Every structure is written in structure tokens, then in C-alpha cells.
């Protein structure tokens, strides 16, 4: 049996799809291929449950000739958009598509009418492959880091706060970025949180967070280290894997942290956990602390986010309790 799974973006959504590809490979013995965007190829390139990765820059026509030669038995559409429809029409195979709950999300955002199921998106992904007899194995998410991208944290922190040589250094990873500004704490609050944490703090983010990371590290003290813009995604994941605890916004590194079974302090702004994308752990495990401002009449204002608060006050992040974040980090 040969199966094509489709998820073009983004980091978190692709990580959340890993239980599906693992189940397809292990439970059906299928040869599993994965179609994504080239910029996200590295997320699945080293996954042992995926036999081949196809990647596009912009258009599915870039890979359709190769996909047609594969003769897939099934197509598992975990993105359900125009691009994935083009693939399904071109391949003419038996396909199953993920329900994105767009109507329910619209009702929640526009009318604050909650018709969302009390179900994580991973479990909804698994419903997509239920017709094939595949079940959730309860093992949580996967993320695989190639050996060349593993980071020696001890060397990075040497000369500063470092645990004894026979112990792994204990530090907090703080993923300060997010795709949209309304999902991120303001810089001054990030600085304040970092100042209050007694452990070393490693700031994680992409090139877009490089300047903010520099400002935070300079203002927060010598125990804060900025890696923003210096690492690729797998190297950032290596820091997450070795961290004592992880502070993160609603973003891809939150799901990578859950894949490694880390204690996560997830900080929520304009989006809400009820959308079904909170940290997902193996069955029976719960290591997430949610920090949010409940009861705001304007929240959620979007299922994704904005570059600036539509109301101008940004209460969803401005009113976040810094002490709640610090207590979750320092407490046991």
C-alpha cells in the first residue's frame, strides 16, 4: 500500500500531523509519502515513518509529474485547500480530507458562539484516516533532529551559569516569536519575565526576532542568551529538547516542545486553546500550563492573528500575568 499525506504548512500543523503518518506506516505497513512546501521540508525530512518527501515552492504543478508516477492507493489531505484539491483531481485516487471546521471557527471569532468540538486537532486529523482502520496509538507527536543539528548546550552556556560537569545544564527556553504580533507578548513584558526568572534563559526565534532578542538579552541581564536568527529550526529544536522548561507563544516551537515531552508554559493572546491546537502529549500525560486572560469579550479576534490589535488596547497580552509565567517556571 502506498499513501500520500498532504500538509503544506506551517511548522506546528506539520508536527501535529506526525501521529497520522506514524500510524499509517506502523498499523498498515504502508509506504508513506509526504507533500509540503519546500521551506518546511526539514520538519519531515528525517522522519523514519515517511519514505519520501515531495516539496513545492509555489505550485503543485512542480511535483505533479512525479506524483502521478507513484500510483498512490490513498491520498490523505490534511490541509484541505485549493492546492490539495488540485493534487487530488490530478491523481484521481481515493482521497480523505480533514475537516477544518471553518464555519465553527468563524462563529467563535465573529459571534463568540462556541460550536467547536472539545477535541484536539490531532484527534481530528486521526478521524481523517479512520476509514482505513487506523487508530490513534496514544504516543503523541514526533520530531526528529539530525545529528549534525544537535547543539552542545553546555558549550554554549560555558563561562556563564553552568551546572556541574556531570549534570546537564538547567535552563529555560523562551520562544519569543510567532507568525503574528497579536500572538506575541510585547517586548517589555518579555524583558520583565526574563528578569524575574532565576535560571539561565535562552531566547529562541528566527531572523525576524533577531533585533528583539538582542534588546531583551541586553535589558534582562547576563543570565539571558539570545540565539534569535542564529539557528536553523532543527538547532532551535535541539535547545528545546534539552531545556528544563519551555515558555512559548501559540507557535510551532510549542508543538515541538510537546513532541519532546517538555514542561510547556503556553502563553495565549488573540487565539485560544479551544481551537484545538494546545500542546499535545502522549495519552495520560499533561505537562502544559496555559497562561491567558480569560473572559475578554474581544477574544478570539482571529483564528490566526494580526500584526496589531484591532481594538488598539491589546489587553489579551498586555494583561497577561507575568507572575503566573514565572511561578510555572520556578515551581518544581
Supply the DSSP string of 159-184, one letter for each residue.
TSS---TTSPPP-EEEE---SSGGGS
Total count of domains within the chain: 2
State pTM to two decimals.
0.96
Both 232 and 128 in one domain: the answer is no
pLDDT of residue 154: 82
CATH number for the domain including 34? 3.40.50.2000
Give the number of other CB atoms < 10 A from CB of residue 330: 13
What percent of the chain is modeled with pLDDT above 70?
Answer: 96
Helix (H, G, I), strand (E, B) or coil at 329: helix
Q: Are 256 and 161 in the same domain?
A: yes
Kindly state whether residues 107 and 151 are assigned to the same domain.
no
Residues 187 and 303 in one domain: yes
Q: What are phi and psi of 9, to 5 degrees?
A: -160, 175
Judgement on whether residues 49 and 117 belong to the same structural domain of the protein: yes
What does the block give as the cell for 248?
512559548
Q: How many CB atoms lie within 10 A of CB 110?
A: 10
Cα–Cα–Cα angle for 218, 224, 225, nearest 5°? 90
SS3 189: helix
Residues 6+ apart with CB under 8 A from 291: 265, 266, 267, 268, 320, 321, 324, 325, 328
In a domain, 137, yes or no: no
d(CA 301, CA 160): 42
Domain residues for 265?
147-330
Q: What is the pLDDT of residues 52-98, one digit of tens each?
A: 999 999 999 999 999 999 999 999 999 999 999 999 999 998 999 99
Tens digit of pLDDT for each residue in 277-293? 999 999 999 999 999 99
Amino acid at each position: 500500500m502506498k499513501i500520500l499525506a498532504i500538509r503544506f504548512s506551517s511548522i506546528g500543523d506539520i508536527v501535529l500531523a506526525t501521529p497520522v503518518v506514524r500510524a499509517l506506516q506502523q498499523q498498515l505497513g504502508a509506504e508513506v509519502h509526504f507533500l509540503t512546501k519546500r521551506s518546511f521540508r526539514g520538519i519531515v525530512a528525517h522522519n523514519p515513518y515517511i519514505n519520501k518527501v515531495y516539496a513545492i515552492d509555489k505550485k503543485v504543478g512542480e511535483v505533479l509529474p512525479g506524483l502521478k508516477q507513484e500510483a498512490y492507493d490513498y491520498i490523505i489531505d490534511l490541509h484541505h485547500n485549493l492546492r490539495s484539491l488540485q493534487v487530488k483531481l490530478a491523481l484521481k485516487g481515493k482521497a480523505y480530507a480533514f475537516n477544518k471546521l471553518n464555519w465553527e471557527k468563524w462563529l467563535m471569532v465573529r459571534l463568540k458562539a462556541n460550536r467547536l468540538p472539545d477535541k484536539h486537532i490531532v484527534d481530528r486529523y486521526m478521524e481523517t484516516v479512520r476509514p482505513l482502520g487506523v487508530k490513534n496509538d496514544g504516543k503523541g507527536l514526533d520530531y526528529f533532529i539530525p545529528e549534525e543539528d544537535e547543539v552542545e548546550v553546555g558549550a554554549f552556556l560555558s563561562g556563564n551559569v553552568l551546572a556541574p560537569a556531570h549534570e546537564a545544564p538547567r535552563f529555560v527556553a523562551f520562544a519569543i516569536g510567532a507568525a503574528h504580533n497579536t500572538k506575541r507578548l510585547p517586548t517589555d513584558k518579555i524583558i520583565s519575565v526574563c528578569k524575574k526568572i532565576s535560571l539561565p534563559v535562552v531566547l529562541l526565534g528566527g531572523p525576524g526576532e533577531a533585533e528583539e532578542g538582542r534588546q531583551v538579552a541586553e535589558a534582562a541581564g547576563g543570565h539571558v542568551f539570545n540565539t534569535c536568527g542564529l539557528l536553523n529550526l532543527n538547532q532551535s529544536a535541539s535547545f528545546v529538547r534539552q531545556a528544563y522548561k519551555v515558555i512559548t507563544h501559540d507557535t510551532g516551537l510549542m508543538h515541538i516542545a510537546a513532541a519532546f515531552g517538555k514542561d510547556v508554559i503556553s502563553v495565549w493572546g488573540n487565539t485560544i486553546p479551544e481551537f484545538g491546537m494546545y500542546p499535545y502529549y502522549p495519552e495520560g500525560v499533561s505537562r502544559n500550563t496555559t497562561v491567558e486572560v480569560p473572559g475578554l469579550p474581544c477574544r478570539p479576534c482571529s483564528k490566526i492573528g494580526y500584526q496589531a490589535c484591532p481594538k488598539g488596547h491589546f489587553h489579551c497580552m498586555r494583561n497577561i500575568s507575568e507572575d503566573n509565567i514565572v511561578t510555572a517556571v520556578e515551581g518544581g
